[in-house]
Structure 1
Amino acid sequence: MSLTLDEARARSAALSEISYDLALDVTSPDDFRSRAVIRFTTTGGGSFLELHRAESLDVTLDGTTITPAYDGKRIPLDELAPGKHEVVVDARLRYVTDGEGMHTFTDPVDGERYVGGYLGLDVTQRLFACFDQLDLKAPIALTVEADPTWTVLANGLPTGPGTFATTPPIACDLFVVAAGPYHSVRWEHAGIPMGWHARRSLAAELDRDADELRRITEACYDHYARIFTEPYPFDSYDQVFVPELNWGAQENPGCVTFNEFMLPRGRVTDDDRRRRAMVIAHEMSHMWFGDLVSPVWWEDAWLNESFADYMGFEVAETAVGYAGTRVSFEAVHKPGAYDADRRRSTHPVAPTGEDVPDVATATTIFDQISYGKGNAVVRQLVTWLGEQDFLTGVNAHLTRHRFGNATLEDLLSALDAASPRDVRGWAEVWLRRSGHDTIRVTRRDDGVPVLTRDGVRPHRFTVTAYTPDLEPVASRLIDLGDEPPTLPDWSGLIVVPNAHGETFARLDLDPQSRDALTLGLTRVPDPLVRSVLWPVLLDRDPLRLLAAQLPHEPSPTLITAALTRTRDHLIRRRLPAAEVPAALAVVAAACATTTEHDEQRAVALAKGLAWSTADTGLLRRWLSTDTTDAGLALDPDLRWTALCRLAELGGIDAPQIEAERDRDGTADGMLGALTALAARPTPAAKAEAWASMTEDPTVSVRRFRALAAGLWSPSQRPLVADYIPAYIAAASALAERGSAFAAEVGRAFPALALTDAELYQVRAALHPEVPTVLSRLWNDELDDRTP
């Protein structure tokens, strides 16, 4: 039962002045106590609270014990008189291991226990009884009973042991609590208490990176303090690396949670640092756009995510000093947004409320349209409007709706007042329509380049010209609309439109430009221009381009992006099994640069070689010496990549894998061992992995993911063929466990090319009862595998 738009509108119209007084007791390892005092005013009639699968339940209404017809999901509140009411819901609930509720985790390194409520759509009700919708924002007061030696973190500033200051009005899905023996680094900046926290067994990694994390935090804070007229709206700012978070990060007001992969145990590459800085900037921008001002309903989720994603990349690049962050967006994120915009599931960046009829549907729009495309569209808006007018409108919007909810129309009104341009006309073609334009380069008979547009959107972008030897000549910012601009002074030159990625449009280069760039891509000196071109050229002939250009590509970011796209979109989706070994050999040869002196580039190439090589002797040497043949030390991630590939090739047995797991000793090592064990090319290994995925009702999201990563292999089709129909048959029931688990089941789609008959089986299994999240992911897979 998913909350519908109609239900949310009716409840919002009836309720006001909501507040929560919440008490949690997490001292028991078996279950936890959740006691919520909910005060509200109503216009009268019936309403309901959400609470998911309480083990026990006591409810009082205005001091009188009641026995509501609780169905495991909702607590009906029938025939409420107009006026003020108080409901007390005292319940016990189970911990979860899927990240949706009060998550529990025991660290294998030291046996320490951590719990945390990491929320989101339809998840708050798994933690406490609430009116679980965006536009019923409320202050939350919190007390937590926990092990007295633990650190307890939440949205509000601590006021005593286990007690926290009442928050300003926030959407209840942004509540957070994280408790355990965390290692902390604390300080104060601009009068705001701040901190970074990580599991005790990651203390060395946090201390290693603490100065950098503090510098990024302060630089982001100072930048937002300059560009936003509204002050930082909360009383503290903690950032916590929490175990087994389903997202990359979560923008909880005053206490942001981060996935632990952003605190690597081994080598921290420049790409790691750029990504982490981008996410820190992204989440902090949410304190204003998303937390201070929240959407009314989920159709405007893009207002949160597109804005924050744009800010994350922009601020990391320009204000925090991580050059190359835009390169990663163009090469890593934007290509996936173009893919998403071609699928049947594409949707406008800003859909209407009726396009999102319930919360289950809303879970599917936190996708590459809302993030990657939305980011690009916001950047085009800033380019088109000018930054000053954009920020003037945004600031007016934030002030007008502070601690409240707002819609796209509210934002457009603010931008329209700040700019002389036709903002609503722009929004109609860019935000309300799905799909994207194509920018074409053609030539007149005299060789003069002409830019044309297939589509209806106005574009402003940089176009760059090069000599036939790919020496840069000139760049200029142009507007492309109905009238095709000609470039007579660039006759005979190589032309790259959208060279700096300011707009969101496919590129169709003229033959002269395309041929020259295919042969000499890595001679283009600007990595941002190459980041735009790599995906365009990869889509035409990926293996040929990799073989010719990857050994000469100086950017580790672009190396990793090209390898990942080739693996995920070609080898794991499209290539027949018979062609996979040859394709992997091309990838391995392109990565086998043994004279590399740039460590960052060497890491990117070594990771590609580790998953593509068929040379078991090479992998054994790496593992025995803990270095590559070129002398690069193996960090835990690279070591497990090599070990899993060796297992896939049949070069290591179970006892050796178990020894590696014991050698590692961490949660990541346990997951790496699961993948390696599942990857072995034996019927017994596949049967054991499949049983662990499907027969254990307590299997966690991360364990399921690790097992699936080893189960499927394009090189092992005969061995895994029988598990394809088994997966299709079992997936729907597995996905009923919750949206996070459903998403993982969908991502566990067989990572190899399927036959027409197998694709037909998937289509036939997509009956209306398939959970929404799974159905969306399956349909996307079907689209991605259709030429």
Structure 2
Amino acid sequence: MPSLTLIEARARAQQISEVSYEVELDLTDADGPTFGSRTVTRFRSTTESTFLELTSARELTVHVDGSLVEPAYDGHRIQLRLDPSEALHEVVVDARLPYTTDGEGMHRAVDAADGETYLGAYLGLDIAQRVYACFDQNDLKAPITTSVAADPRWTVLANGRAVADGAANGDGRWTFEATPPIPPALFTVAAGPWRSVRWQHAGLPFGWHARASLGVELDRDAAELRSVTERCFDHYAGLFDEPYPFDSYDQVLVPGLNWGAQEMPGCVLFRDELLPRGRVPAETRVLRASIIAHEMAHMWFGDSMTMTWWEDTWLQESFADYMGYRVAAGAAGFPGAQVTHEIMQKPAAYLADERRSTHPVAPATEDVPDVDSAATIFDAISYAKGNSVLRQLATWLGDEAFLRGVNDHLTRHRFANASLADLVDALADATDRDVRAWVDLWLRRSGFDTLRVERVDGVPVLHRDGSRPHRVTVTAYDDDLTEVARLLVDVADEPIPLPQLAGRVIVPNAAGETFARIVLDGRSRAAVAAGLSGIGDVVARAVLWTMVLDEVGTRALPVDGLVDLVERHLPVEPDPTVVTAIVEHSLRLVLLRAGAGDVAGLVERVAEACAAGLAAAPAPDVAAAFARGVVVGSMDADLLLGWLDADEVAGQPMTPALRWRAVQRLAELGAVDADGIEAERRLSPGLEADIGVAAALAARPTAEAKSAAWRVAAVADVGNRIFDATFRGLWAAGPGDLLAPYVERYLREAPGWAARGQGFAQVVGRARPPFALTPAQLAMLDEACAGELPTVLRRQWEDWRDDLG
């Protein structure tokens, strides 16, 4: 489909104004191929011709200013001819649009646990037009009034408060208050037999909603979810001058969402994997709280104040990411949130900043020429690096000045659009520091600096290789790696001797305030290698583990050296987030960096390190993290079968997620067949089981199983979750003759799959083989990248090629 260009968007924004929408959706035929969409768009225009976006419409009728017309329609755009004598135009578009299963548009999911259907408008870049006719661009914000016809048994949720409740009335007809002006892409509807928890807070209605089959889990976590929501809301109310911009706050855990969550005004969507069955892992609870805080920050950053064009993606995502971890740690009761950022998210940002696709946190407008290009910068740079850069900005400016500038910016652009220049003006007014120079160095340039420690006559000297100013914590340790001193240091052009720390082990950026590579002096590096697990501060451990991962990425440390450190330090790691992150990062690097003959042994060594940690009887949350590490790479089928038979590990019941991962591993080892996998499904049927079955069946190490898996993935309307799970299982056999034909088929056929849309293209790109390729396969990848590819998939594959080296 044609992607809206910057030139087109700027021209239309100058011609069109005072837009409003009335959107009527008919979801009563939830099992059919299409749903009804009727949009009344009112606007003023200075041009006689323009266009509305609407994708894949059937039974299309269009009325312009009261007259039925036959517009030119190419399947994506409705061309309009306007009478210049009309002051206010009204265009009414009626159509039927297809349901989807790929997480873009009106997504339909059927829960195998009870046969119930759920529908959700999952929108985003170039996706609003799959649900209703609109001017699909950020800077034509408009109030939207929504009405929905649905199954009378269902609850329907949308951006505003319900003023007619179709369930209470028994007719299935819902209407909602008009929103303030919002971007078209932030419209949403979520319809189905939701299990709901509702309450009032700060004079507003709040709610959490999940699939009916997750009712037990929602009840289990309701008190925590409510507490996190209220704490975040109250904290933002004190932090921001602008009041909460909308009339309600619903949060919906939906099936099949491509993103972790989406910040729809007044009705936030979360992927429902954040409400797992069984015991909730500690790291999931921390991450969930951070996402709740992140999406709530978007009510101000993105929903009220919205970027004008997509080069300022960071203006919303970096801020929300920064505020999410900050508020989860400082207000919501999850002090470990910063650890999640440092060890789970930041390593990906360093990696992204060294690929050919790197870009400044705030790229130039002309570097984002269309919406397809914009989809490629929703990445680790716009999120994790941008988060880190904003944390450095707050540290460098001082928190008071930083928040003063932010509040000024939000007030100036309430329910409007803004750009980087607008933010810089507000920050400059809040401080006497040279914000514009800082922005040029940090936001307008890609790459990162190095903070390097050397010894001169026993005195540690801190150097900066690069050009950016850094304000960071330098921590000193004794020979037992007990912290003895902590300094806040400004690092610029001149080296900084630290004579007061002579003879000590030195770690710069130990609190993670900046975004920079760390290179330790020989003495400090040796001490860390020997005693990393003995450092008491978990953030400092996370920073140092990230340093080690970076060394593997740059090949300064061989991958077996990483596994040596994992064996030495992971079994005594007390933080479950660190355990989970190091297992995931280590396995990724083993698959990419190790020779084909070494992969299985290194994976098993990581699993054995986790088994050693589990044997030490750690706290339940840490034990759960170690157990997940064991099932990923253990060669001991009897151990895993014993866990399944007992339905417990280390005295704790197995969660369904852990059971399915163990079943997949047993399938990889040839220790469970299709009948055994189906028997496991029957224990607890549902969407989660469908996904587990897809991965386990695909993981079986036979040619027949791989062929069957390919047929599942290649179905034209395969769901995004089944597609992802099938490839996860298919590649589980690792490099070798069994999978070689499928590497080649993936390279040939993936571009066609990616044409379904930007979100599904991301899923397709992530489904690539996770292991090193042969020279012949690398040549095929190079040839594919030199040819025609969908924009989003091209970005994914070029990054893949860079990671392969």
Q: 1:601, CA displacement in angstroms?
A: 1.0
Q: 1:633, CA displacement in angstroms?
A: 2.1
What letter is aligned with 1:562? I
Higher mean alpha-carbon deviation, 739-748 vs 715-724, is at 715-724
- State how far apart, in whole Å, the 2-side matches of 1:168 and 1:346 are: 36
Q: 1:632, CA displacement in angstroms?
A: 3.2
Q: 1:597, CA displacement in angstroms?
A: 3.6
1:631: which partner in 2?
651
Q: Does 1:622 align with 2:643?
A: yes
Q: Secondary structure at 2:113's aligned position in 1?
A: coil
Return 5+ residue gaps in structure 1 as ranges: none
Partners of 1:141 and 1:164 within 8 A in 2: yes
Partners of 1:713 and 1:752 within 8 A in 2: no
Of 493, 516, 528, which residue of structure 2 is paired with 1:505? 516
Partners of 1:274 and 1:324 within 8 A in 2: yes
- State how far apart, in whole Å, the 2-side matches of 1:319 and 1:203 are: 27
Higher mean alpha-carbon deviation, 762-771 vs 257-266, is at 762-771
Of 420, 441, 454, which residue of structure 2 is paired with 1:408? 420
Q: Deviations over 1:66-87 (max 9, x none)?
A: 0011000000013552632110
Partners of 1:42 and 1:80 within 8 A in 2: no
Q: How does 1:267-666 map to 2 (within 5 A)?
A: 267-444=279-456, 446-538=457-549, 539=552, 540=557, 541-571=561-591, 573-593=592-612, 594-628=615-649, 630-666=650-686
Q: 1:741, CA displacement in angstroms?
A: 1.6
1:89: which partner in 2?
93
What letter is aligned with 2:416? G
What letter is aligned with 1:649? L
- State how far apart, in whole Å, the 1-side matches of 2:733 and 2:464 are: 39
Q: Secondary structure at 1:442's aligned position in 2?
A: strand
Q: 1:710, CA displacement in angstroms?
A: 0.6
Q: How does 1:757-768 map to 2 (within 5 A)?
A: 757-768=776-787
Q: Does 1:141 align with 2:151?
A: no
Partners of 1:675 and 1:708 within 8 A in 2: yes
Q: 1:352, CA displacement in angstroms?
A: 1.2
2:171: which partner in 1?
none
Q: 1:768, CA displacement in angstroms?
A: 4.6
Of 141, 151, 169, which residue of structure 1 is paired with 2:181? 169
What letter is aligned with 1:456? S
Q: 1:337, CA displacement in angstroms?
A: 0.3
Partners of 1:453 and 1:482 within 8 A in 2: yes
1:41: which partner in 2?
44
2:164: which partner in 1?
160
1:784: which partner in 2?
803
Q: 1:716, CA displacement in angstroms?
A: 5.4
Of 666, 676, 689, which residue of structure 2 is paired with 1:669? 689
What letter is aligned with 1:155? N
Of 184, 196, 200, which residue of structure 1 is paired with 2:212? 200
- State how far apart, in whole Å, the 2-side matches of 1:355 and 1:246 are: 25
Partners of 2:735 and 2:773 within 8 A in 1: no
2:266: which partner in 1?
254
Q: Deviations over 1:469-528 (max 9, x none)?
A: 211110010000011111001111100000000000000110100001001101111111
1:189: which partner in 2?
201
Q: Secondary structure at 1:712's aligned position in 2?
A: helix
- State how far apart, in whole Å, the 1-side matches of 2:428 and 2:733 are: 52
Partners of 2:699 and 2:733 within 8 A in 1: no
Q: Secondary structure at 2:18's aligned position in 1?
A: strand
Partners of 2:691 and 2:721 within 8 A in 1: yes
2:11: which partner in 1?
10
Q: Deviations over 1:202-230 (max 9, x none)?
A: 11111111111111111011101101111
1:126: which partner in 2?
130
RMSD: 1.0
TM-score normalized by structure 1? 0.98
2:168: which partner in 1?
none
Q: Secondary structure at 1:461's aligned position in 2?
A: strand
Q: 1:642, CA displacement in angstroms?
A: 0.9
Q: Deviations over 1:397-437 (max 9, x none)?
A: 11111100000000000000001100000000000000000
Partners of 2:118 and 2:193 within 8 A in 1: yes
Partners of 2:563 and 2:606 within 8 A in 1: yes
- State how far apart, in whole Å, the 1-side matches of 2:24 and 2:358 are: 42
What letter is aligned with 2:623? A
Query: Taking every aligned residue pair, what percent have the same amino acid on both sides?
Result: 55
Moved over 3 A (4+): none
Q: Secondary structure at 2:92's aligned position in 1?
A: strand
Q: 1:666, CA displacement in angstroms?
A: 1.4
What letter is aligned with 2:566? L
- State how far apart, in whole Å, the 1-side matches of 2:663 and 2:241 are: 52
Q: 1:569, CA displacement in angstroms?
A: 2.3
Partners of 1:449 and 1:487 within 8 A in 2: yes
Q: Deviations over 1:47-100 (max 9, x none)?
A: 100000001100000001100110000000135526321100000011110111
Q: 1:595, CA displacement in angstroms?
A: 3.2
Q: Secondary structure at 2:536's aligned position in 1?
A: coil
1:150: which partner in 2?
154
Of 104, 111, 114, which residue of structure 2 is paired with 1:110? 114
What letter is aligned with 1:127? V
Partners of 2:590 and 2:602 within 8 A in 1: no
- State how far apart, in whole Å, the 2-side matches of 1:336 and 1:737 are: 26
What letter is aligned with 1:474? A
Partners of 1:518 and 1:537 within 8 A in 2: no
1:708: which partner in 2?
727
1:685: which partner in 2?
705
Q: Secondary structure at 1:438's aligned position in 2?
A: strand
Q: Secondary structure at 1:195's aligned position in 2?
A: strand
Q: Secondary structure at 1:287's aligned position in 2?
A: coil
Return 5+ residue gaps in structure 2 as ranges: 166-173
What letter is aligned with 1:283? E
Of 72, 78, 94, which residue of structure 1 is paired with 2:81? 78
What letter is aligned with 1:584? V
1:99: which partner in 2?
103
- State how far apart, in whole Å, the 2-side matches of 1:756 and 1:479 are: 47
Q: Deviations over 1:560-616 (max 9, x none)?
A: 111100111222x22222101210221122111323141111111111010111111
TM-score normalized by structure 2? 0.96
Higher mean alpha-carbon deviation, 617-626 vs 478-487, is at 617-626
Q: Does 1:62 align with 2:65?
A: yes
Q: 1:551, CA displacement in angstroms?
A: 1.1
Partners of 2:668 and 2:733 within 8 A in 1: no
